Structure 1
Amino acid sequence: MAYDPVIKICGIRTPDILDHVIAEGAAMVGFNAFPKSPRFIEGAGMADLVKRAAGRIETVVLLVDPDDAALDAAAASGAGWLQLHGRETPRRLEAARVRTKKKIIKALPVGSAEDVAAIPAYARVADRLILDAKPPADATRPGGLGATFDWTLLTGLDRSIRFMLSGGLDLDNVARAIREVRPFGLDVASGVEREKGVKDKALISAFIANARAAARE
């Protein structure tokens, strides 16, 4: 059955790429506030981009295990969503929503059936979920590593739980992801870059076009 997946382009750092993502009709755009990421953007630059995006696209700030001060700073940017991409518990998600009065996305690592079993507890408190590839133990950051995971792990997940799929998506495999997983949405960062942290307009356009074409089938 045809559908229209929510598409989020994450790790935006420049006005021209932001404008291109909006022109291509993506639903969400993400700004990375994690200093160890090649997509990190300083607070002032982020606030400028959030302001530029206002009324044109939904905006998300990505944080990893933020303390309250980091939550406050992200909320002050004006973005509509906060994405928690660390080891945050369901209780921490609830506290973050109450504190910031923002909608909360929780990114969850998937690498085993045990990881999938943990998803429902987060689904009860998050406004939206992103299912990402579980990073290796020695990874310096929790996502944006360009690695996929075994999508068949999700076959046992309650289909009433809507989620965005992430982890190693690019213009070559996004159609297969749509056909095999049928996620509510897609979240891409490294898969639309010509080098780490540098987005490519042609790759963004091709990714969105390929996703939409597959979703119409």
Structure 2
Amino acid sequence: MIRVKICGLKTLADVQAVAAAGAAYAGFNFFPKSPRYVTPAQARELALEAPVGLAKVALVVDATDDLLDTLVETVPLDMLQLHGHESPERVAEVRARYGLPVMKVLGVAGEEDLAQILDHSVVADQLLIDAKAPKGAVLPGGNGVSFDWRLIAGRRWLRPWMLAGGLTPDNVAEAIRLTGASQVDVASGVESAPGQKDALRIAAFVRAAAEAAPKPKPAFVMPS
């Protein structure tokens, strides 16, 4: 089974579309420069409408303890997603302070970026392997760009991991086949405009990911 995370939800309709499509994670973006930004109060209202079983994830970028305190106290969260320059030490500190699973996002552009993945896999609960933001980009993610998926083809780490970066309903199946990913994340790839989710694209993305899952081999039956 391929688990899907739809990130950057802003409206009740977004949450309903994600739940109806069968996604596993709903992501709320707390980076103020993002077109997908929501306040803690807005996220609380949306999270309270999420059905049981849909994991609620907070995306933050180099967040202070004050911000994380507010988020954890306000929003019923299931996971924290660290999308900044957090060191392994900071990841471990956040995990210990809040008692929530932590997903660390790591940008990849070339072979030289892979060592950091192993370093963080020792302390994070999950890893999100994303395309490194283009030079000069305002956003650390959600830029609609991908990386050479062959760089991580067949690789395994100490923790569950998720693939992100430029994924769309049209290419997610190929990305899963090339990398072996069992989890995928999307934001801009299911939008009609920056920050505006498209329910049809969300459904198509989840469906395409599910159809790319490896098919179980039939059990061997002894001839009678």
TM bracket, shorter-chain basis: over 0.9
Q: What is the DSSP-based 3-state SS (H/G/I as helix, E as strand, rest coil) of the residue aligned with 1:215?
A: coil
2-structure distance, mates of 1:159, 1:103:
17
Checking the alignment, whether the CA contact within 8 Å between 2:118 and 2:157 is kept in structure 1 is no
SS in 1 for 2:212: helix
Which residue of the partner structure matches residue 90 of structure 2?
92
> Which residue pairs with 2:42 in the alignment?
45
Tell me the matched-pair count: 214
Query: How far apart are the structure 2 equivalents of 1:109 and 1:39?
Result: 19
Structure 1 residues 115-159: Cα deviation after superposition (integer angstroms, max 9, x where no partner): 111111111111111000001221111000000001111137335
Task: Give how far 1:55 is off.
Answer: 2.1
Correspondence for 1:34 among 31, 34, 38: 31
Gap runs ≥5 in structure 2: 216-224
1:183 match? 181
Change (3 A) 1:214 1:156: closer
What SS class does the counterpart of residue 192 from structure 2 fall into?
Answer: strand
Q: Distance in 1 between matches of 2:154 and 2:14?
A: 37
Aligned counterpart in structure 2 of residue 203 of structure 1, from 193, 201, 204: 201
Unaligned runs of 5+ in 1: none
Instruction: State the TM-score, normalizing by the size of structure 2.
Output: 0.92
Q: 1:64 matched to which residue of 2?
A: 61
Kindly state the Cα deviation for residue 17 of structure 1 after the two structures are TM-superposed. 1.5
Alignment of 1:2-41 (within 5 A): 4-41=1-38
Is contact 2:104-2:126 (8 Å) kept? yes
CA-atom RMSD in angstroms: 1.4
Alignment partners' CA distance in 1, 2:136 and 2:70: 29
Q: Give 1:88 deviation, angstroms.
A: 0.2
Give the letter for the 1:72 counterpart: D
Report which of the two structures shows the higher radius of gyration computed on alpha carbons: 2
Residue in 2 that maps onto 1:106:
104
2:52 maps to which of 50, 55, 58: 55
Identity of aligned residues (%): 43
TM-score, normalised to structure 1, is 0.94
C-alpha change, 1:154 and 1:161, in structure 2 (3 Å) is farther
Change (3 A) 1:155 1:211: closer
Counterpart CA distance in 2 for 1:59 and 1:139 is 26
